[in-house]
Chains A and B, each alone.
Chain A
Amino acid sequence: MTGENDLPRAVQVSPNRRHGRQVSPSRRHDKQDIQSQAAQRAVDHNRAAQAEHVVRLHAHSVFSFSNAWPQWVLLCLLLIAVLGKLGLIGHDWTAIGQAGLSPSSQHWFGTNSLGQDLAAHSAQALANLLSDVLPGAALGFLLALGLGLWAGFQADSWIDRAILFAIDTFDSLPVMLLLIVLASVLKNVSLALPIALGLLFWSSAARAIRSACIDTLKLSFIDSARLIGMGDMQITLRQVLPIIRPVLIALGLVIAGNCLRVQLTLGFIGLDRSAKPSLGALLNSGTEEALSGRWWPLALALLISTLVLVSLEFMARRYLSRNA
Chain B
Amino acid sequence: MKFLLQSLQRLFPALAHVSAVVLVSGLLVFACLRFGMPAPSLTLLSRHATDAEAQLFLRTIGADRPLLGGYLELMRAYAHGEFGASWVNQLPIKPQLLQAFKYSVLLMLPGIVCAHVLALVLAARSRGPSSSWLSFWAQLSVAAGLLLSALLAQYLLASTLIFSQPFPAFGLSLDSTAHYLGSIVTPTLALALGLFGFNYTIYDGLLRSPERQRNMLAAQALGFGRLRQQRAGLVAISYPLLSFIAGSLPIQIVGGAVAIEVVYATPGLGLLGVQACMNNDAPMVMALTLSAACIIACASALIHLLRSVFDPRLHAQAERLS
Contact = CB atoms under 8 A, between A and B. Distances in A.
Interface of A: 165, 168-178, 180-186, 189, 257, 261, 264-265, 268-269, 271, 283, 287, 290-291, 293, 295, 298, 302, 305-306, 309-310, 312-314, 317
B21 A173 contact: yes
19 contacts: A165-B16, A173-B25, A174-B25, A174-B293, A176-B254, A177-B258, A178-B25, A181-B33, A181-B285, A182-B32, A185-B37, A265-B147, A265-B262, A268-B262, A269-B262, A283-B151, A293-B162, A306-B143, A306-B148
Contacts of A175: 255
Interface string B126-147: 0000000000000110111101
Interface string B33-46: 10011000000000
Contacts of A264: 145, 147-148
Nearest to B254: A174
Given A169-B20, A293-B162, 20 more contacts: A165-B16, A171-B300, A172-B293, A173-B21, A174-B25, A174-B254, A174-B289, A175-B255, A177-B258, A181-B273, A182-B32, A183-B277, A185-B37, A269-B262, A287-B154, A298-B151, A302-B155, A309-B144, A309-B145, A313-B139
A168 B16 CA distance: 11
Count chain B CB atoms within 10 A of each CB in A171, A181, A306 and give the residue with the most: A181
Given A177-B258, A182-B32, A185-B32, A168 B143 contact: no
Interface string B280-302: 00000100110011001100100
Interface of B: 16-17, 20-21, 24-25, 28-29, 32-33, 36-37, 139-140, 142-145, 147-148, 151-152, 154-155, 158-159, 162, 254-255, 258-259, 262-263, 273-274, 277-278, 285, 288-289, 292-293, 296-297, 300
Contacts of B32: 181-182, 185-186
B80 to A, nearest CB: 23
A309 B143 contact: yes
B158 A290 contact: yes
Contact of A177 (B148, B162, B273): B273
A261 B145 contact: yes
Contact of B278 (A173, A184, A310): A184
* Pairs of residues from A and B, 5 with the lowest C-beta to C-beta distance, nearest first: A313-B143, A185-B36, A184-B277, A174-B292, A310-B143
Given A313-B142, A313-B143, A169 B24 contact: yes
A181 B151 contact: no
A182 B162 CA distance: 39
Contacts of A302: 148, 151-152, 155
A181 B289 contact: yes
Contacts of B259: 176, 265
B175 to A, nearest CB: 14
Contact of A314 (B139, B151, B155): B139
Contacts of A291: 158
Contacts of B143: 257, 306, 309-310, 312-314
A172 B37 contact: no
Contacts of A287: 151, 154, 263
A178 B30 CA distance: 11
A176 B258 contact: yes
B174 to A, nearest CB: 13
Count chain B CB atoms within 10 A of each CB in A174, A189, A264, A306 and give the residue with the most: A174
A264 B151 CA distance: 12
B267 to A, nearest CB: 16
A132 B36 CA distance: 20
A197 B127 CA distance: 39
Mostly helix, strand, loop or mixed at chain A's interface?
Answer: helix
Contact of A169 (B17, B152, B285, B292): B17
Contacts of A290: 155, 158
Count chain B CB atoms within 10 A of each CB in A265, A283, A317 and give the residue with the most: A265
A320 to B, nearest CB: 11
Contacts of B17: 165, 168-169, 172
A287 B152 CA distance: 10
A269 B16 CA distance: 35
Contacts of A271: 274, 277
B277 A185 contact: yes
Contacts of B147: 261, 264-265, 268, 283
A265 B289 contact: no
Contacts of A283: 147, 151
B148 A305 contact: yes
B285 A265 contact: no
A218 B37 CA distance: 50
A184 B288 CA distance: 15
Contacts of B154: 287
A194 to B, nearest CB: 15
A178 B254 contact: no
Contacts of A185: 32-33, 36-37, 277
A257 B144 CA distance: 10
Contacts of A168: 17, 300
Contacts of B296: 172-174
A165 B289 contact: no
A317 B277 contact: no
B93 to A, nearest CB: 15
Contacts of B36: 185-186, 189
Nearest to A267: B147
A54 to B, nearest CB: 27
Contacts of A268: 147, 262-263
Contacts of A178: 25, 28-29, 289
A37 B296 CA distance: 58
B24 to A, nearest CB: 6
Contacts of A314: 139, 143
